[in-house]
């Protein structure tokens, strides 16, 4: 499994913990920045990770900012991205099972590191259930196509 990860300065510390956690499990993680706590713009990171997931270079993405909100909004503008902001483990498995989410977004200022790592593991271990959910995801794609230029 290949994971693309990125954060702005507001998610930098949590990103480092997640990388250590995933590498400890032997999971291949590539860091798309930011590389320090110096202030930066979360849409730049969302675009970098979003494109890598959209073109299927990576299986999943993980994006972190202070709240997880800005970075998930930005990532969801990339064609084919379904980024889900999760602050609990129920949402983390439900969004894989029902929405086939391909990016997990987290807020470092919202969830503590222990819960964040449980959310990451839950998201990565859950499986898309297909069936009726395919029809709904196709309708999301239809919206994307309708508004793409
Ligand atoms: C940065 O201060 C903060 O605005 C950002 O990390 C994020 O929370 C935006 O949604």
Q: What is the DSSP string of 92-122?
A: HHHHHHHH---EEEEETTTS-HHHHHHHHHH
Average pLDDT score, the chain: 98
Determine the residue of 33, 66, 109 to mutate for testing ligand 1's pocket, defined as the one with the most ligand atoms within 8 A of the Cβ atom. Answer: 66
The answer, yes or no, to whether any atom of ligand 1 lies below 6 A from the CB of 66, is yes
| pTM for this entry | 0.98
Q: To the nearest whole percent, how much of the chain has pLDDT over 90? A: 99
Closest ligand 1 atom, CA of 8? 6
The answer, yes or no, to whether any atom of ligand 1 lies below 6 A from the CB of 68, is no
At 149 the pLDDT is 77
Residue 70 CA to ligand 1 center (angstroms) comes to 6
Q: Which listed residue (9, 21, 40, 65) is catalytic?
A: 65
- 75-121 pLDDT per residue, tens: 999 999 999 999 999 999 999 999 999 999 999 999 999 999 999 99
Cα separation, 89 vs 146, in Å, equals 33
Residue 133 CA to ligand 1 center (angstroms) comes to 31
């Amino acid at each position: 499994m290949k994971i693309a990860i990125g954060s702005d300065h507001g998610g930098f510390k949590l990103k480092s913990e997640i990388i250590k956690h995933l590498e400890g499990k032997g999971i291949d993680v590539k860091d798309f920045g930011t590389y320090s706590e110096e202030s930066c713009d979360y849409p730049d990171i969302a675009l970098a990770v979003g494109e890598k997931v959209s073109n299927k270079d990576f299986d999943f993405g993980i994006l972190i900012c202070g709240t997880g909100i800005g970075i998930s909004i930005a990532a969801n503008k990339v064609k084919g991205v379904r980024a889900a902001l999760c602050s609990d483990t129920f949402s983390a498995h439900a969004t894989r099972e029902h929405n086939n989410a391909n990016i997990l977004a987290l807020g470092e200022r919202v969830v503590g590191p222990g819960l964040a790592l449980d959310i990451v593991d839950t998201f990565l271990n859950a499986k898309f259930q297909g069936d009726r959910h395919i029809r709904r995801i196709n309708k999301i794609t239809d919206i994307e196509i309708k508004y793409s230029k």
